Amino acid sequence: MTELTHFDKNGNPRMVDVSSKDVTYRVAVARGRIQMQAETLELIKAGNIHKGDVLSVATCAGIMAAKQTGGIIPMCHPLGLDGCEISFTFNETEPAIKVEAVVRVYARTGVEMEALTAVSIACLTIYDMCKAYDKAMIITGIMLVSKTGGKSGNWHSTM
């Protein structure tokens, strides 16, 4: 694709018109990670962060962010999501938490941005809730893992 679809023929920004597209089932998976001190990871796992249950709050924040993506990314279509799941995997050797979001919708456009936004905000929420313990946390690797549905079909990252 060589054409920039978010600009008209005069170079002005525009929201792409998807009204002629078919409604199809679409799924996007995104992931990222937040690296931290081993002590911080242990506090999260034990539920000993004084602000509360970090992963529950990060889950809610990620889902809320996915639902609001069309309102915060200028050319992104607002979508009524059919499902959003956030999961966490602990890695004691790094130490880090891997965050993954799976977003589903029946729509004319995909949910890649919603999945990426969910992961980003879940990671930022973990940072916010734990920054008193560990200001050196690093959020990295936020990426689209896969997407299904739509005109362009299925796509899976090779990374």
62-117 per-position pLDDT tens digit: 999 999 999 999 989 999 999 999 999 999 999 999 999 999 999 999 999 999 99
Q: What are phi and psi of 55, to 5 degrees?
A: -75, -30
Work out how many domains the chain is built from and give that number.
1
| 48, part of any domain | yes
Residue of 17, 53, 82, 128 with catalytic role:
128
| 134, part of any domain | yes
pTM for the model stands at 0.93
Interval 36-50: pLDDT, tens: 999 999 999 999 999
79: domain CATH number is: 3.30.70.640
| 1, part of any domain | no
Determine how β-strand 138-148 pairs with β-strand 96-107: unpaired
The CB-side HSE value for 13 (13 A sphere, CA atoms) comes to 4
DSSP 46-58: HT--TT--HHHHH
The question of whether 128 is a catalytic residue gets the answer: yes
Helix (H, G, I), strand (E, B) or coil at 16: coil
